Amino acid sequence: MSQAIHPAPKGFAGPNTITKSRYEDDYSESVEHPEAFWARMAQRIDWMRFPTKIKDVSFREEDFRIRWFEDGELNVSVNCIDRHLEKHGDKTALLFEADDPDAPDESRHVSYHALHGMVCRLANALRGLGVGKGDRVTLYLPMIPEAAVAMLACARIGAVHSVVFGGFSPDALAGRIADCGSKLVITADEALRGGRRVPLKANVDEALKRPGTNCVETVLVVKRTGAPVPMQMPRDRWYETVVAGQPETCEPERMNAEDPLFILYTSGSTGKPKGVLHTTGGYITYASLTHECVFDLREDDVYWCTADVGWVTGHSYVVYGPLANAATTLMFEGVPNYPDTGRFWQVCDKHKVTIFYTAPTAIRALMREGDAPVRKHSRHSLRLLGTVGEPINPEAWEWYYKVVGDSRCPIVDTWWQTETGGILIAPLPQATPQKPGSAGEPFYGVRPALVDAEGRLLDGPADGNLVLLDSWPGQMRTVFGDHQRFIDTYFKTYPGMYFTGDGCRRDEDGYYWITGRVDDVINVSGHRLGTAEVESALVAHPKVAEAAVVGCPHEIKGQGIYAFVTLNAGEPATDDLRAELVGWVRKEIGPIASPDHLQWAPGLPKTRSGKIMRRILRKIAEDAPDQLGDTSTLADPGVVESLVRERLNRT
């Protein structure tokens, strides 16, 4: 493990930068007197009714509840737009950089004033289409301003949005539409990414043929590329036509702090993706506070988070956190390597980006291209860098620090999850000297702890499973439609504690080092996938009898997908069939789920009760056949030998 420590460079601090002593004082107050602390923090939000009840939480099953600011009333879109109009009306809210750098007329600056008009017009249109408080709306959109507008328009009228990443397949989209019973879908004719077109509208058409999706009454279609797409009347309507002529103001819905704001589907160890539900008051308080503190936000910042709005990072740190803070937030439609691998830095120079927040997988991929594409651009405007989504290896951290940041920008390595709504563990750039590879210290109100397999709390420097002992306002409140699953998934493994699913080490300075998932979730390029989802896609193929999927180390993606597949008796195992199965998984879930390795398995290692021993498969996939451990409890130990012999991921 790297021993380097990087304090913030001299001259980094601004007038409001959080110092070490301020962090320590506020952190102590936040855990010793959470009610007083969060009542104070709630003042950053414009409430229609200020909450008098701050926190009401129990993680025990018998009286389980998580409630924050429960008698408060507010509207998130008002907090992200209206309240800024007087002082910041002309400030750029959304800075849109299109996929193609040579189509400058496609890039746009959307001021807070303009954003207000766009959101109100769409909100009025949605109301006119019969969408109201509590109704679900699915968004399947490219990274264009309309995606943020649609989220905020839902928030304005109290509709609950469910954003589905544009890279997901029609089947994955259909499952998510059906699960939450969406009344309306907003999509685009096509998305543009790295010069390639993604047929979003056609995917929606496919999805809406699947069972369970006839809840959808209306599909609004944004024109992005202008490609001809079939419109099915009266279901399909052009977005532009529907918003045209709508009034530029729209009465915001009064929302209770605990009313739902959005659902976002994420993968877990078992079963179908879960609809993670976030509510209104706690979420926006937490997203805006973390965004301001962790990124040391300043008035003139041009802030760029490269995440897609289809993931939680896009929700909290492209849209809600920055806009609640009246920041300028850049939305990038493209990819890091188009038209060349200097694109990120070209965009930084073009828009004078000051804060840049991306994923380790992108950093590793760009590092492989060498320093020249970075050095070609000045990057002088940058003052702070961030990472999120997966552990960052110290080599990539150092490259990011030295080459991208010219050793003048602190790096905040932010650990959090879809379920947590906002950042839970991260260095504050001035207060916490950074150790490459460590996410540093807990944010205000966050009480991380490490436990061993039996749930015993570990003291001091230790290695264990990461749990959280108390709630924070941004915590998810339930799994949409299945509250018991919420309790079973997160609060049963270690009763009375929230279990993150991550392994972690705490060092002698109290810094946390996340080591990765300890459950059956794999993290591919920062995207979460359940091994069970990939397995069920594989066994849905008519020639497949059985499949087991595990993660394996991957130089760029962090983790890759390694599938063991048993074919039906008599089915020849050919290279053509292998390619067909990889393509099948892409089609069933989406390109991010394509297996990197697919090994034919005449049999899978099982216990005598028929349970697949994944521990053994993981070691085979890691190319560590000498660490298989005890195989004597297997029903047929001979299977392992042949799997080891034929393994694919040799280093």
How much helix, strand and coil, in percent to the nearest 5, is found in the chain?
35, 25, 45
State the DSSP string of 418-469. GGGSS--B---TTTS-B-TT--BSBPTT--EEEE-TT--EE-SSEEEEEEES
Is the preceding peptide bond at 602 cis, omega within 30 degrees of 0? no
Instruction: Closer to ligand WTA by CB, 116 or 528: give it.
Output: 528
Do the bridges between strand 462-468 and strand 498-506 make them parallel or antiparallel, or are there none, so unpaired? antiparallel
Instruction: Closer to ligand WTA by CB, 331 or 577: give it.
Output: 331
Query: Is residue 391 near ligand WTA by the rule CB under 6 A?
Result: yes
Which ranges constitute the DSSP H helices of 554-648? 575-588, 614-621, 638-645
CA angle 286/312/482 to nearest 5° reads: 90
Nearest distance, CB of residue 435 and ligand WTA, angstroms: 13
CB 162 within 8 A of CB 261: no
Instruction: Closer to ligand WTA by CB, 162 or 341: give it.
Output: 162
Site for ligand WTA, residues 285 to 314, rule: CB under 6 A: 311-313
CB 426 within 8 A of CB 443: yes
Query: Is residue 8 near ligand WTA by the rule CB under 6 A?
Result: no
Nearest distance, CB of residue 240 and ligand WTA, angstroms: 33
Instruction: Closer to ligand WTA by CB, 93 or 529: give it.
Output: 529
Q: Which x/- pattern over 494-513 shows residues binding ligand WTA (rule: CB under 6 A)? A: ------xxx-----------
Instruction: Closer to ligand WTA by CB, 174 or 305: give it.
Output: 305
d(Cα 531, Cα 519) in Å, to the nearest integer? 10
Nearest distance, CB of residue 523 and ligand WTA, angstroms: 5
Bridge partners for 514 per DSSP = 504
Instruction: Closer to ligand WTA by CB, 201 or 517: give it.
Output: 517
Given 417, 493, 536, 649, the residue binding ligand WTA (CB under 6 A): 417
Nearest distance, CB of residue 555 and ligand WTA, angstroms: 17
Given 389, 405, 429, 474, the residue binding ligand WTA (CB under 6 A): 389
With H, G, I as helix, E, B as strand and everything else as coil, classify residue 379. Answer: coil
d(Cα 179, Cα 275) in Å, to the nearest integer? 8
Given 77, 182, 266, 525, the residue binding ligand WTA (CB under 6 A): 266
Query: Is residue 418 near ligand WTA by the rule CB under 6 A?
Result: yes
* Known binding residues for Mg(2+): 539, 541, 544
**Which candidate, 146, 183, 191, places its Cα nearest to that of 167?**
191
C-alpha gyration radius of the chain: 24
Given 390, 398, 533, 535, the residue binding ligand WTA (CB under 6 A): 390
Given 388, 476, 529, 598, the residue binding ligand WTA (CB under 6 A): 388
Nearest distance, CB of residue 173 and ligand WTA, angstroms: 18
Nearest distance, CB of residue 596 and ligand WTA, angstroms: 19
Residues in the interface with ligand WTA (CB under 6 A) total: 23
Site for ligand WTA, residues 428 to 487, rule: CB under 6 A: 439
Structure token pair of residue 649: 């991921």
**Phi and psi at residue 513, to the nearest 5°:** -120, 105
Nearest distance, CB of residue 134 and ligand WTA, angstroms: 25
* Known binding residues for CoA: 193-196, 313, 337, 525, 586
CA 125 to chain centre: 29
Given 37, 416, 480, 490, the residue binding ligand WTA (CB under 6 A): 416
Instruction: Closer to ligand WTA by CB, 138 or 465: give it.
Output: 465
Instruction: Closer to ligand WTA by CB, 295 or 416: give it.
Output: 416
Query: Is residue 363 near ligand WTA by the rule CB under 6 A?
Result: no
CB 354 within 8 A of CB 320: no
Instruction: Closer to ligand WTA by CB, 27 or 311: give it.
Output: 311
For residue 10, with 0-12 CB atoms within 10 Å meaning exposed, 13-18 middle and 19 or more buried, which class applies?
exposed
Instruction: Closer to ligand WTA by CB, 30 or 523: give it.
Output: 523
Instruction: Closer to ligand WTA by CB, 69 or 513: give it.
Output: 513
Instruction: Closer to ligand WTA by CB, 58 or 270: give it.
Output: 270
CB 149 within 8 A of CB 118: yes
Stretch that binds ligand WTA, among 70-78, 148-156, 338-346, 386-394 (CB under 6 A): 386-394
Alpha carbon dihedral 638, 642, 648, 651, in 10-degree steps, equals 80
Given 23, 262, 415, 498, the residue binding ligand WTA (CB under 6 A): 415
Sequence-ordered list of residues with C-beta below 8 angstroms from that of 505, at least 6 positions apart, any chain: 450, 461, 462, 463, 512, 513, 515
Sequence-ordered list of residues with C-beta below 8 angstroms from that of 526, at least 6 positions apart, any chain: 359, 360, 361, 388, 389, 390, 558
Site for ligand WTA, residues 515 to 534, rule: CB under 6 A: 516-517, 523, 528
Structure token pair of residue 400: 């990011």
d(Cα 221, Cα 190) in Å, to the nearest integer? 9
Instruction: Closer to ligand WTA by CB, 34 or 464: give it.
Output: 464
**Which candidate, 596, 603, 644, places its Cα nearest to that of 624?**
644
Stretch that binds ligand WTA, among 102-110, 410-418, 487-495, 537-545 (CB under 6 A): 410-418
Bridge partners for 527 per DSSP = 524
Instruction: Closer to ligand WTA by CB, 389 or 551: give it.
Output: 389
* Torsional sign, CA 45, 49, 52, 56: negative
Given 242, 479, 514, 522, the residue binding ligand WTA (CB under 6 A): 514
**Phi and psi at residue 586, to the nearest 5°:** -55, -45
d(Cα 319, Cα 154) in Å, to the nearest integer? 13
Nearest distance, CB of residue 391 and ligand WTA, angstroms: 4
Bridge partners for 388 per DSSP = 414
d(Cα 615, Cα 391) in Å, to the nearest integer? 21
Bridge partners for 521 per DSSP = 530
* Known binding residues: 193-196, 313, 337, 389-391, 413-418, 502, 517, 525, 528, 539, 541, 544, 586
* Known binding residues for ATP: 389-391, 413-418, 502, 517, 528
Do the bridges between strand 302-305 and strand 328-332 make them parallel or antiparallel, or are there none, so unpaired? parallel
Stretch that binds ligand WTA, among 83-91, 320-328, 387-395, 609-617 (CB under 6 A): 387-395
Q: Which residues bind ligand WTA (CB under 6 A)?
A: 266, 311-313, 388-391, 413-418, 439, 500-502, 514, 516-517, 523, 528
